[in-house]
Structure 1
């Protein structure tokens, strides 16, 4: 059955190529960081919890020592002008992800239903890469050199979403959701649907601001309010509860420096004097959007 067994090798191979290119350019810190990521993706399921823990600590050490450096702007690949047609390969990826997700649901014997979207996304990336090779005809290493340049500009923050999502799973496994649920149960008036919806929506936004990622906040708030109160208590459909809850969490992403890859890295790349400039620009959008998501979820459930 096709699932993560195709996603991880593809991603691991890409990071391995990044590491080799980093060694070739004598960028030792960047090469070590990407090699550790490649090792995690390629053999992470074989080295156990202790080995993966050591990998994570090694990644932190490489990032903390400040040995990672951004690539020079003169390394950018020059491409002949092709107008808006250059967007075609980029649009192939989301199109393949959408079509593949819907199509793979009809192939439960071939594609792991839980990983259908990731499989479709991976195939979309490979298809877009093939289109670029056939159409633009760059050097074999060109896409990976450009990918490495982008990864070097982002730096250690590239792995922040995965780290924070793992943190959310740890919080859920340690019972944080149950504790938060107990507090919420005491604070929400008995039988108040709007109170439960507000607690869920605000909780998703606030926990996302603390953790930096809605994927980290979701396990906590789903266990605390989403499942026990909204789904089991009021009979809400789990799909909109999860989807709109994530949207509420994303509103928190717009307002926190913990989401460094979204809010601090762009400020650094644009060389803004105020590191919080991106967050300040997003808050006027995030707050009304959060209120709308809470209202929308209430209307869906009631």
Structure 2
């Protein structure tokens, strides 16, 4: 059975390859950054190991690693590698030769992931199963990426080492912003455990009529947008706003459907992702990669769409959650 730690080991292998390529190119800061992240992924199981006193000692090492990575990123130690003119010309020629076939591997990822997730309960032989019953999504995504890689190698007639080299190039292009979703999701858990959700609930109870379903729905939806804009990620905002408004007011007090509230609440939070520079990997890095003159051009182009989607999501939440 494919477990989560197998996925983490696969990610560690890709990051280790990036470390190797950066060492060979003498990009020492980049190599150290990806090497630390690779070690964290590879040693994920060790983080859960306790000593005789029940202390999670390796967790402290991970904390030190995160601080070192932050220092590397903040001091400019992680730099984006600019492609040479020959490399750019080669890519353009390859893209013209392959045409729309380039989209096939990318589309394979969501297609294979969805099929595997839906078929997970049936991919069982005796006591053996392909995907874990409790969390099939991430292993299914990893398998989808592996299938897409094989299709990409067949389509482009490239060697496997070329895939690792391109992965390293993409990591260097995205730079430190690639770890923001993980860090911000962890920040959401920190806020949840430190009682931010309870503080939000108290503030909401003082400012809105909590006996009104519409007022609570608006507070939850707009709160998801605002917190997402502050934190840069809906995953970080979701535990805070759900603990503060979604669970106590919409679900317990007004009897809302948890599935509808959770799904549409997260979707509403994504509207905030479209509006904030804190979501650097979505809104700032693409502007850099596309060499836009306006670094906030992506956000400006998305603003109207984000506002319309937010209105539709909040309306759907109000209409569907309390049927």
**TM-score scaled by structure 1?**
0.94
Alignment of 1:167-182 (within 5 A): 167-182=187-202
Q: CA deviation at 1:182?
A: 1.4
Q: Does the aligned pair in 1 maintain the 2:8–2:44 contact within 8 Å?
A: no
Question: Are 1:61 and 2:71 an aligned pair?
Answer: yes
Unmatched 5+ stretches in structure 1: none
Q: How far apart are the structure 2 equivalents of 1:84 and 1:251?
A: 30
Question: Are 1:188 and 2:208 an aligned pair?
Answer: yes
Q: Does the aligned pair in 1 maintain the 2:109–2:144 contact within 8 Å?
A: yes
Q: How far apart are the structure 2 equivalents of 1:82 and 1:273?
A: 29
Alignment of 1:44-83 (within 5 A): 44-47=44-47, 48-74=58-84, 75=87, 78=91, 79=94, 81-83=97-99
Q: Does the aligned pair in 2 maintain the 1:40–1:52 contact within 8 Å?
A: yes
Structure 1 residues 246-299: Cα deviation after superposition (integer angstroms, max 9, x where no partner): 111011111111111111112222223332222122112211211111111000
Q: Does the aligned pair in 2 maintain the 1:160–1:261 contact within 8 Å?
A: yes
Give the corresponding residue for 2:308: 288
Question: Are 1:87 and 2:97 an aligned pair?
Answer: no
Q: Secondary structure of the residue that 1:172 maps to in structure 2? A: helix
Q: How far apart are the structure 1 equivalents of 2:159 and 2:118?
A: 34
Give the corresponding residue for 2:52: none
Give 1:103's match in structure 2, choosing from 79, 99, 119. 119
Q: Does the aligned pair in 1 maintain the 2:234–2:270 contact within 8 Å?
A: yes
Q: CA deviation at 1:72?
A: 2.6
Give the corresponding residue for 1:254: 274
Q: Does the aligned pair in 2 maintain the 1:44–1:52 contact within 8 Å?
A: no
Q: How far apart are the structure 1 equivalents of 2:8 and 2:71?
A: 23
Q: Judge which range, 75-84 or 259-268, deviates more.
A: 75-84
Structure 1 residues 89-147: Cα deviation after superposition (integer angstroms, max 9, x where no partner): 11111111111111114468633334211111100111111223344331331111111
**TM-score scaled by structure 2?**
0.88
State the superposition RMSD in angstroms: 1.8
Q: CA deviation at 1:172?
A: 0.5
Q: How far apart are the structure 1 equivalents of 2:153 and 2:289?
A: 28
Q: How far apart are the structure 2 equivalents of 1:118 and 1:294?
A: 28
Q: How far apart are the structure 2 equivalents of 1:190 and 1:162?
A: 33
Q: Secondary structure of the residue that 1:96 maps to in structure 2? A: helix
Q: Does the aligned pair in 1 maintain the 2:98–2:156 contact within 8 Å?
A: no
Question: Are 1:277 and 2:293 an aligned pair?
Answer: no
Q: How far apart are the structure 2 equivalents of 1:68 and 1:37?
A: 13
